Amino acid sequence: MSDLIESTAWRALSAHRAAQSGVTLRALFGADPKRFETFSLRSGALFLDYSKHPITRETMALLVALARDRGVERWRDAMFDGERINHTEDRPVLHVALRNRSDRAMPVDGRDVMPAVRSVLSRMRTFSEAVRSGVATGHTGERITDVVNIGIGGSDLGPLMVCEALRHHADPQHLRAHFVSNVDDTHLVETLRGLDAHRTLFIVASKTFTTQETMTNAASARAWLVASLRDERAVAQHFAAVSTNVKATSAFGIAPERVFEFWDWVGGRYSLWSAIGLAIAIALGMDRFEELLAGGHAMDEHFRTAPLDANMPVILALLGIWHINFHDRGSHAVLPYDQYLHRLPAFLQQLDMESNGKRIDRAGREVDYATGPVLWGEPGTNGQHAFFQLLHQGTHVVPADFIVAAEGPHRLGVHHQLLLANCLAQTQALAFGKTTAEALVELRSQGMTDAAAQALAPYKAFPGDRPSSTILLDRLTPHSLGALIALYEHKVFVQGAIWNIDSFDQWGVELGKQLAGRVFEVLEGRAPADALDASTRGLAALIRSRPGH
Ligand code: F6P
């Protein structure tokens, strides 16, 4: 058995879980009128209510003891100190330096990285302002109106999610931002349709600058531009790049003054704070981007200094551990009641599942406990009319995060009040449900015969005890969004520390990439199909038999 399972803290939690079985949220709320005050906290513009989880003060004390026992504080300090905590890639994990708004030095191998970070930020400001003001024009002197970010994974999801989330914070010089990620040519073709090459700027965003999808899209975008403007030299004014691989960017033909560097101590899924955020700076303005950084930094300071039992990311992480490891709940829903946050679940999918979807611990052993959950979600209220049926009455219990802003960005009639009402009502329905007896009373009061009411009541009953957290933002601003993203990053970090896994590598994406290379050769007719398994070979043969192959 692993150290984790054998630890005193884990055993105490297992015993506590057994003793707690049968305890309901109705009972917990009934017994403690101060439950909301006890199980909630504020950090800046974010308020977390976690009272609708099956926890008591003892549960939280035991979970915090587990975090302490697993060295969460030590791991946290090691990250901020630039230690090489990404051990399988032998790298520090220092995305917090990118949003460090203090004058604290952030060392990597004894050298402060802050001067380099500030220098890139300042170059981003100069460039984004030049594009936005029309000083940096296209090749034929026309103003840039559209920016196309070409990247995938962390080089796409972060800037895309932020640009969508903060559309309403763009000033009048708003440029249209587009994001092309999929190697499926539909994505590029449909994006370029209607764009004017004279007015389009491409940002090739790739940490490695070798990613197949990004390089393929970038080459096709380049060809489109050159064909449209009939001049190879146009590339210089219509392309910028963001990468740690500066050599490869120049090989692609991107002018050095349009290359924005970041560093290998920034993980792909943690990179939106780096120059990968260039599309954000151009679309929304550098001031907005810096406000986002400031929000992330505020959450870093909270995470770094607050005691574990009053530390928002730690609490979210521990609630996750409680559900995943002690209630066997392997799925987690993120439900933003905010249309602007419609890409947040997709962003968090990469953040959480690429970070903690692991089964080998830091000592190279297979774990004997569950790790990261299957994370998914959609904005409310849409989800209510789709998958909430399962959340309320299905056989799986899915812990959920509800995210909503107290104050909406627009003032259109009662829309925002209705949104808030729905959000709160859903958490209430999930937690407290409706008993069969209550359903019976309701049906009878509607004039139903006793027999009909008895028959229908089980369908109308809701079991309740479906846990959720509510994250209430004052308003959705660049600052509060920055804090929200950093909150989730640190949550994932804490869980990884407790599970003793490296949350910063992603070897699980490699095999598919390798195999795709081989299958591609077969589809192109450059390699025999014999080496493929029978299923893949059969499918490849079918595809190759189609006209045009
Ligand atoms: O395939 C996974 C991954 O390496 C992610 O971790 C990363 O965000 C994405 O690919 C894109 O990588 P790059 O920025 O190097 O193109």
pLDDT, tens digit, 9 for 90 and up, residues 504-515: 999 999 999 999
Taking the centre of ligand 1 as the mean of its atom positions, its distance from the CA of residue 28, in whole angstroms, is 44
Other beta carbons within 10 angstroms of residue 98's beta carbon come to 27
Q: How far is the CA of 153 from the centre of ligand 1 (A)?
A: 5
Give the residue carrying structure tokens 């026309």: 142
Residue ID of nearest Cα to ligand 1 atom 2 = 509
The ligand 1 atom nearest the CA atom of 269 = 8
How many CB atoms within 10 Å of residue 100?
Answer: 23
**Predicted confidence band at 170 (pLDDT cuts at 50, 70, 90)?**
confident
Is any ligand 1 atom within 6 A of the Cβ of residue 59? no
| pLDDT tens digits along 193-231 | 989 999 999 999 999 999 999 999 999 999 999 999 999
> Does residue 503 line the site of ligand 1, with CB under 6 A?
no
- C-alpha 349/C-alpha 356 separation (Å) is 10
Mean per-residue pLDDT for 392-410?
Answer: 98
Selected catalytic residue, list 232, 513, 524, 549: 513
Please compute the mean of the pLDDT values over residues 241-246 and round it to a whole number. Answer: 94
- pLDDT > 70 in the chain, percent: 99
Expressed in angstroms and rounded, the spacing between residue 505 Cα and the centre of ligand 1 is: 11
pLDDT band at 257 (very low <50, low <70, confident <90, very high): very high
Per-residue pLDDT band at 169 (split at 50, 70, 90): confident
Residues with Cβ within 8 Å of 42's Cβ and at least 6 positions away in sequence, in order, are 48
Q: pTM here? A: 0.97
At 412-459, the pLDDT tens digits run 999 999 999 999 999 999 999 999 999 999 999 999 999 999 999 999
pLDDT band at 548 (very low <50, low <70, confident <90, very high): confident
Examine the pLDDT at 125 and tell me if it is beyond 90: yes
Query: 491 an active-site residue?
Result: no
pLDDT for residue 173 is more than 70: no
The beta-carbon contacts of 355-359 under 8 Å, at least 24 apart in sequence, are 355/269, 355/492, 355/496, 355/503, 355/504, 356/492, 356/495, 356/496, 356/499, 356/501, 356/503, 357/508, 358/499, 358/501, 358/502, 358/503, 358/508
Instruction: Give yes or no for residue 214 CB within 6 A of ligand 1.
Output: yes
- pLDDT tens by residue, 359-374: 999 999 999 999 999 9
- Active-site residue identified among 354, 358, 479, 490: 354
The arithmetic mean of pLDDT across residues 155-160, rounded, is: 98
Q: Tell me the mean pLDDT in the region 519-531.
A: 95
Q: 442 — phi, psi (to 5°)?
A: -60, -45
**Predicted local distance difference test score (pLDDT) of residue 61:** 98
Specify the residue with its C-alpha closest to ligand 1, atom 9.
Answer: 153
CB 299 within 8 A of CB 482: yes
Average pLDDT over residues 58-84: 98
Considering 34, 247, 385, 410, which one is annotated as catalytic? 385
Cβ neighbour number for residue 128 with a 10 Å cutoff: 26
CA of 548 to the centre of ligand 1 (A): 31
